[in-house]
Structure 1
Amino acid sequence: MPRAAVYIRMSTDDQTGSPERQRSQVLPYCQRKGYEVVEVYQDLGMRGSDSSRPQFQRLLQDAQKGKFDLIVVDEQSRLSRDDTVEYMATVVHPLRKVGVFVEVVDTGRRLTWDRDDLGGQLLAFLGQYKAADESHTLGRRTATGMARKACEGKLFVGRAAYGYRYKLDAGGNRVGLEPDADAPGKVEVVRRIFDGYANRDLSLMAVVAELNAFGVPSPHGRQQWGKNTVHNILTNHVYAGSYVWGKVKQGKFFRSDGGEIRPTQKKANKSERTSSESWLVIPGQHEPLVLPELFDLVQQKLASNRSRTSPSRKKASYPLSQLLRCAHCGVPMYGTKQMSGGVKQAIYRCGSYFTQGRCGPRTVNERVVIEQIAQVLQSRLLVPAERERLEAEVRRQAEQRSGPDEQTVKGLRMKQAKLDANIAKATDNLLLMDADLIPTMQAKIRQWKQERATAQEELDRATRQSPAGSVAHVVGKVEQLVEVMKAGDPALVRTVVREAIERIDLRFEAVKKAKLTRYPLSGGVVHLRASASEDSSRSGRAAAR
């Protein structure tokens, strides 16, 4: 009696091919043929184009061991949906080598791949080509269906964002997001993260340290938070109440690229992270955990901080991080630790030399530079004569910014007019477009609207009249700064320094001694913020030498 192995597969996109239906066809077939069924191999929720299916691989391995003489399947596509070339390598060659053939119930055909049966080979390969082509068609159908649901804000896959849970309808289907009422602590954690970064001037690592200090479990249930986890929360539009789709491109045959469904490149990874410009973001889809205005403020701060060139990863430990600059090359100096007299001391190094090998090994001790800055500020700005000079400088800078740049204003208004025309024209053409092109154009319209909003913000800043900086305010900031710098608390120094100082340019003298060249600190310039306005890019500057 021939020994038969039965293979059953059901894919996620083919619910009609249920295991029960296949069994009801294959097992009676084997009984009629007089086959002894030695084992049933079953892969559920697996695509036929996935050659790594566990039971499929075990089936091929058992065939090599001679456990059965033939394989029986309901349809040829149940065994594989690979294209004909991959099918020959993964199925035909291994089975033909050990003399195991396949019988297909729906056609009653036996696939032996006998070299003397050319007609049989052609029919087998034609059947496989049809199965592979059907998989290709199903892939596009699935991708376009998902894209359509996403454009409507109705596609919900994967886990809900930390602090949220899915809302379910009467049938148990996902219909939206809502704050997780069963875990209100998670909602508060999200709000604390945004508040710490936006309002309390904490760095990403400082937020991480705070969460770990309080013993807050991470979204994955671990005891420790990481910088990437915090960053992902801060950049997730979901927390501002928006629906987001398209962060990751995936799909063996077709993938969504900026709302447009395109064939997957041959050498593409299983999944690819996309740029934020191609995401589908639909505001106002559920209850936000943070105000949209706060979310936008955080994005601006993150974008500003990305331009930092200092390689220090412990910014919170170095209060002058990003403020000290090497006057010889203009590159920021970064903080690190150095052993001196058996004790680790904080120092700042020229970033250009220690990362690119340029400039020189210029180094300054943190305690020394803080003491000298405090001494210079006190002696040069907190005496009556210097206060008069400071008042004159602030008044001069205020007069320079008394009016907006007409050329800039004109350019921004022209940009707005062009974007308005593009938006209006594209909106009118939506009704005339093919259905497949509508998501792409909708994404483009959203991009133009965002660009217009950005241009409006720039126009508002350009036309806003900025009041002259208050000398009394500046002097008060300097007095507070000197007092804090003398106290030496790094956390306080960092906060106050950033409110009062724009940057500090340090000069070093090259002193040759024997074969060595040393670079002691010789002087510098402290650039003060002459205004406490929120728009620091428009604040005045005064210098203390």
Structure 2
Amino acid sequence: MKKERTITVVPALKSKIQKAEEAVGQRLRVAAYARVSTEQDEQESSYEAQVDFYTRHIQSNPNWEFVGVFADRGITGTNTKNRESFNRMISLALEGGIDLILTKSISRFARNTVDTLQTVRELKGVGVEVVFEKENLHTLDPKCEVMLAIMSSLAQEESRSISENVRWGQQKSMRDGKVFLPYKHFLGYKKGADGYPEIVEEEAAIVRQIYDMFLSGKSIRHIADYLTEQGVPTPTGKSRWPVSTVENILRNEKYKGEALLQKSYTVDYLSKKTRKNDGELPQYHIENSHEPIISPEIFDLVQKRLEHRRGYKARFRDNSPLSNKLICADCGGFYGHKVWHNRENTKRYDIWYCNRRYAGAEKCKTPILREIEIEMAFERICQELGIRGGQSHENLWNEMVEVVMVYPDRRLIFHMIDGREAEVII
């Protein structure tokens, strides 16, 4: 005979929040999340107000244990990857350190529907509730997810609309020739009363020094090390100067009073990824956009020397220690290697002269030098500086010499890697 089937109902387990509310002496561990997406003054006050409000609100409830207010300032809400405080809060909640999270609205939490739903589901899976106060949504409510999906989509659409409006405004400003600089991180300028860049003389002196040192033959590495040793703060206020920072200053056209706008662009409003503009979008070149710190002539000369240094391996003989070391003081070009043959005695001479010597209407005034003359000059310099060692001439040159400036009067100024200088006439 078949036994009668019986069914027993097992009551649903109470959530952590319900248990904490019913337990005597047990308090909910509560945190809050606050965020503003810009660092403007009015947003700064909003940020401080959110932090203060939630701190007081949580601490005033006797049934709540204050965990903290996790806040991100000046960070976009369209994705959660770069929000340090947000990610730290979620990790703590998933590890069991938070029972309840309060936040002002869905748009403060995330404007990306996928991120919002995924994060809420992860928290819900471990019994952590999120309360969106503006929308009056509690994520442990079974009916919440549908409303959350709808409202998250609206927040994401709002973000897209804002992004499009901002992009349109930026394009309009560029077409109108307006120049905006990241003044907090830009050496030499501040925002003037008329909205245009205004020179800060104390910082401009540093910029001019960088250009002067480079044109005198100093390497970018040497300039960076010198500024660090002198205790000059970087544009971002740091103590150590990276080589890239010095090179960016040497290459930035804004120091000659011009501006090339839209060098890069944002791929999409969700990822916020930026790419170099290689022709995908129009660029806007504005001449005489603001007062220059560096004259156009000096700036252009620096660009030529930078290009020479960057591409020398493809243009010059690189199996000689002299390659990319000798610089023409007349035009700024590099000296290149050539071989002369004496027709009378069939002797071979290694000679060096400016690669641009015959490029212009007037040839450079700097002399043609025999390689043996340069070697002898280097030996004299080593004696004057007290440089000794068992190394070969070539190895010693590579380890000691940064660049050599060649002048029309056959004067050579050696700029050594250790910062010393020495002059010799050949």
Structure 1: where are the runs of 5+ without partners? 197-201, 254-263, 322-334, 336-347, 349-365, 381-460, 494-545
1:240 alignment partner in structure 2: 256
1:507 alignment partner in structure 2: none
Deviation, 1:248, is 3.1
Tell me, yes or no, if the aligned pair for 2:100 and 2:129 is still in contact at 8 Å. yes
How many Å separate the matches in 1 of 2:304 and 2:209? 22
State the AA in 1 paired with 2:322. S
- RMSD across aligned C-alpha pairs, in angstroms? 4.8
1:539 alignment partner in structure 2: none
1:45 equivalent in alignment to 2:74: yes
Structure 1 residues 124 and 31, CA, compared in 2 at 3 Å: closer, same or farther? farther
**Cα deviation 1:103-129 (Å, max 9, x = unaligned):** 222233322263xx4xx3211110111
The aligned length equals 319
Aligned with 1:153 (options 163, 169, 178): 178
1:128 alignment partner in structure 2: 152
1:175 alignment partner in structure 2: 196
1:95 equivalent in alignment to 2:116: no
Tell me, yes or no, if the aligned pair for 1:374 and 1:485 is still in contact at 8 Å. no
Q: Identity, % of aligned pairs?
A: 18
2:396 alignment partner in structure 1: none
Tell me, yes or no, if the aligned pair for 1:156 and 1:174 is still in contact at 8 Å. no
How many Å separate the matches in 1 of 2:221 and 2:54? 60
How many Å separate the matches in 2 of 1:375 and 1:320? 26
1:317 equivalent in alignment to 2:319: no
State the AA in 2 paired with 1:135. S
State the AA in 2 paired with 1:5. A
Tell me, yes or no, if the aligned pair for 2:77 and 2:112 is still in contact at 8 Å. yes
How many Å separate the matches in 1 of 2:305 and 2:233? 24
SS in 1 for 2:178: coil
Deviation, 1:280, is 2.8
State the AA in 2 paired with 1:489. I
2:64 alignment partner in structure 1: 36
Deviation, 1:36, is 1.6
How many Å separate the matches in 1 of 2:35 and 2:323? 60
Structure 1 residues 291 and 278, CA, compared in 2 at 3 Å: closer, same or farther? farther
2:103 alignment partner in structure 1: 73
Alignment of 1:309-348 (within 5 A): 309-310=314-315, 317-318=322-323
How many Å separate the matches in 2 of 1:153 and 1:88? 41
Structure 2: where are the runs of 5+ without partners? 1-20, 22-26, 327-334, 348-359, 379-426
1:9 alignment partner in structure 2: 35
Alignment of 1:213-362 (within 5 A): 215=226, 217=228, 220=234, 226=243, 232-250=248-266, 252-253=268-269, 270-275=273-278, 278-296=282-300, 299=303, 306=311, 309-310=314-315, 317-318=322-323
2:140 alignment partner in structure 1: 112
How many Å separate the matches in 1 of 2:376 and 2:161? 60
Tell me, yes or no, if the aligned pair for 1:102 and 1:110 is still in contact at 8 Å. yes
Alignment of 1:45-64 (within 5 A): 45-51=74-80, 52-64=82-94
1:86 equivalent in alignment to 2:115: yes
1:257 alignment partner in structure 2: none
1:140 equivalent in alignment to 2:140: no
SS in 1 for 2:77: coil
Structure 1 residues 377 and 113, CA, compared in 2 at 3 Å: closer, same or farther? farther
State the AA in 1 paired with 2:86. F
1:187 equivalent in alignment to 2:216: no
How many Å separate the matches in 2 of 1:81 and 1:34? 33
Tell me, yes or no, if the aligned pair for 1:95 and 1:101 is still in contact at 8 Å. yes
Structure 1 residues 234 and 320, CA, compared in 2 at 3 Å: closer, same or farther? closer
Deviation, 1:42, is 2.9
Tell me, yes or no, if the aligned pair for 2:257 and 2:291 is still in contact at 8 Å. yes
1:455 alignment partner in structure 2: none
How many Å separate the matches in 1 of 2:88 and 2:206? 46
SS in 2 for 1:287: coil
How many Å separate the matches in 2 of 1:74 and 1:212? 46
Deviation, 1:490, is 5.5
Structure 1 residues 274 and 33, CA, compared in 2 at 3 Å: closer, same or farther? same
SS in 2 for 1:309: helix
Tell me, yes or no, if the aligned pair for 2:213 and 2:223 is still in contact at 8 Å. no
Deviation, 1:138, is 2.1
Structure 1 residues 142 and 316, CA, compared in 2 at 3 Å: closer, same or farther? farther
Tell me, yes or no, if the aligned pair for 1:26 and 1:74 is still in contact at 8 Å. no
Deviation, 1:95, is 0.8
How many Å separate the matches in 2 of 1:490 and 1:191? 28
Tell me, yes or no, if the aligned pair for 1:101 and 1:110 is still in contact at 8 Å. yes
Higher helix share: 1
Deviation, 1:176, is 0.6
State the AA in 2 paired with 1:141. N
Deviation, 1:80, is 1.8
1:489 alignment partner in structure 2: 374
1:525 alignment partner in structure 2: none
SS in 2 for 1:18: helix
Structure 1 residues 379 and 246, CA, compared in 2 at 3 Å: closer, same or farther? same
Structure 1 residues 310 and 139, CA, compared in 2 at 3 Å: closer, same or farther? same
Alignment of 1:532-543 (within 5 A): none
Structure 1 residues 302 and 26, CA, compared in 2 at 3 Å: closer, same or farther? closer
